[in-house]
Amino acid sequence: MQRAVNMVARLGLCLQALPSALGRPLSCTQDVLRRTPLYDFHLANGGKMVAFAGWSLPVQYRDSHVDSHLHTRRHCSLFDVSHMLQTKIFGCDRVRLMESLVVGDIAELRPNQGTLSLFTNEAGGILDDLIVTNTSEGHLYVVSNAGCWDKDLALMQDKVRELQNMGSDVALEVVDNALLALQGPTAAQVLQAGVAEDLRKLPFMTSAVMEVFGVSGCRVTRCGYTGEDGVEISVPAAGAVCLATALLDNPEVKLAGLAARDSLRLEAGLCLYGNDIDEHTTPVEGSLSWTLGKRRRAAMDFPGAAVIVPQLKGEVQRKRVGLLCEGAPMRAHSPILSTEGTVIGTVTSGCPSPCLKKNVAMGYVPCEYSRPGTPLLVEVRRKQQMAVVSKMPFVPTNYYTLK
């Protein structure tokens, strides 16, 4: 296991995106780590298991991290993301409940349409990012981060009890399904062979329940965390190995782990909660203003609205930006400096980009330094090197939309 950890470190992966437990052999913690329904499947396929957010998950397989990353960009890869929290919100007041917690316009979602949204607190800070889908089955389907599992669940359960005590019709259920992410330009082609539905009619951020390679009761959502076309499949736990095996029968598909998932999302300019956004970051500071529903902005009826809405008019001190640089890779907590040498911000995520052959990163700087093309300095290994503010995503995204 230590060899695997060293291997990842040598590849220049942004290990700050993974918990400190990644540096410990699993024998130290395996008795308390949760396992997904695919745990034995990962071991059988050469998965190098590490501790992540309280779960035992593969950081990579027999292929190198870079090979897995590039395979996802060129073909497609299968990721086990069963550690994510999946919940269902039922009842006539389900939209009222969710809109009391998030910044998005959930009421406007069409049947089987989803949106990325944010849990916020009264200070305007981001408690977590999540995807909310308005299903045609009469409930909201919510997927949020494993690292915030306990916090998110308590937040929603407390609000359920509060509304129930007021006579509202609302209830919550934790979904114990596995969750598989098939990501890459050939993902839809691979999946189409195993479903009766026409996937050309399933655009980005929509979902449907269907049978997939003989496994019934799967919810297929056109979304992902790589910037590529792809789906996330919520599958009954008993059918997870069967489905994963069927997908891998196609030579287009290879297994990929946390290492590739992290570098792919960074190239796509996507945030990692706890690194790039947190309870001390507002949506405007995090360059996530687009998650704020127009109706919700006007009504100012979401947690932290009194802080967040004025920031939309320019009253914000710092912003999340992309950075490009040559030389040593930028890492989380690396100081960002002006060209005069004054520390002005901090890197939150960074790694070498396998596609660009350059170092990419995200970080926070004062607004006056946030314009793309602005030259800056980043301190890496106690040495200052040139960097430039860059538009994100660093690598163009390929989400599937209807023309």
**Could you report the per-residue pLDDT of 322-371, keeping only the tens digit for each?**
999 989 999 999 999 999 999 999 999 999 999 999 999 999 999 999 99
Give 272-326 pLDDT, tens digit per residue.
Answer: 999 999 999 999 999 999 999 999 999 999 999 999 999 998 879 999 999 999 8
14 — pLDDT class (breaks 50, 70, 90):
very low
User: What is the mean predicted confidence (pLDDT) over 62-71?
Assistant: 97
Q: What is the pLDDT of residue 11?
A: 36
Give the chain's mean pLDDT: 93
Q: What is the pLDDT of residue 16?
A: 38
Percent share of the chain, pLDDT over 70: 92
CB contact set of 301 (below 8 Å; sequence gap of 6+): 99
Q: Give dist(CA 182, CA 248) in Å, integer.
A: 10
Q: What is the pLDDT of residue 392?
A: 98
Kindly report each contact of residues 311-315 with a partner whose C-beta sits within 8 Å and lies 24 or more positions away, as own/partner. 311/124, 311/282, 311/284, 311/285, 312/284
Q: What is the pLDDT of residue 403?
A: 76
CA angle 160, 297, 224 (to 5 degrees): 70
Percent share of the chain, pLDDT over 90: 90
115 — pLDDT class (breaks 50, 70, 90):
very high
Q: What is the pLDDT of residue 9?
A: 35
16-25, 103-112, 235-244: least confidently modelled range: 16-25
31 — pLDDT class (breaks 50, 70, 90):
low
* Positive/negative CA dihedral, 279, 283, 287, 291: positive
Q: Give dist(CA 127, CA 102) in Å, integer.
A: 10
Residue whose entry in the numeric block shows the structure tokens 């929509």: 206
My answer on whether omega of the bond before 372 falls inside 30° of 0, hence cis, is no
CA 167 to chain centre: 35
Q: Which neighbouring-strand residues pair with 144? A: 85, 130
Closest listed residue to residue 191, CA positions, set 256, 255, 238, 247: 247
Q: What is the pLDDT of residue 315?
A: 79
Residue 115: CB atoms within 10 A of its CB come to 18
Q: Give dist(CA 45, CA 339) in Å, integer.
A: 48
Residue 194: CB atoms within 10 A of its CB come to 18
The β-bridge relationship of strands 85-90 and 55-60 is unpaired
User: What is the mean predicted confidence (pLDDT) over 70-96?
Assistant: 98
Does residue 134 carry a pLDDT above 60?
Answer: yes
> Which helix (H) or strand (E) element contains residue 38?
none
Residue 396's Cβ-side half-sphere holds a number of Cα atoms within 13 Å equal to: 3
Q: What is the pLDDT of residue 25?
A: 38
CA 383 to chain centre: 32
CB contact set of 394 (below 8 Å; sequence gap of 6+): 266, 267, 268, 269, 322, 324, 353, 356, 360
Q: What phi and psi, each to the nearest 5 degrees, are found at residue 71?
A: -65, -40
Q: What is the pLDDT of residue 356?
A: 97
User: What is the mean predicted confidence (pLDDT) over 32-58?
Assistant: 97
Give 139-178 pLDDT, tens digit per residue.
Answer: 999 999 999 999 999 999 999 999 999 999 999 999 999 9
Closest listed residue to residue 52, CA positions, set 87, 10, 24, 86: 24
Cβ atoms of 256 and 48 within 8 Å: the answer is no
Q: Give dist(CA 97, CA 106) in Å, integer.
A: 10
Q: Which two tokens stand for residue 387?
A: 């960097």
pTM, full prediction: 0.92
